[in-house]
Structure 1
């Protein structure tokens, strides 16, 4: 197996795009669920993350898919922080 250089520019661009799309999707869906009931939002977010984690864990060593894994992880973490902030400020 030949070690090829890591395409940082392209990879981080893909990861950023995936993070933005994932983050917006989680915030929009989570914000809607918070309006129904905060515990429902927390429960469904935990179930979704727990169900997605094994698949992403397996992808982390695949050269192209690792950028999707990074973007998804950053997007979900950022979305959760955004939802916590919005909830703490009373926007929900």
Structure 2
């Protein structure tokens, strides 16, 4: 991503225990820093667990309600079920 970095720290959510997903919000930047009161923020979201590792770049405009959306996901999430390989015939 282009632009000026606002912060070098990262925010971690979740854990690494079996069936849990860790979310890492990092590389926050302000791509249009030359504009006064720039509402755009870019960051990278990495989701990882025992079987998963996904990374995606995100662009928000005044946050786009992202905090409310993530809070509702967290409230409803009940974890991942580990697949029963015996039932799947493996």
TM-score range, shorter chain: 0.3 to 0.5
TM-score (norm 2): 0.34
Could you state the TM-score of these two structures normalised by the residue count of structure 1? 0.33
Q: Which has the higher contact order (CA 8 A, sep 6+)?
A: 1
Which of these two proteins has the greater Rg computed from alpha carbons? 2
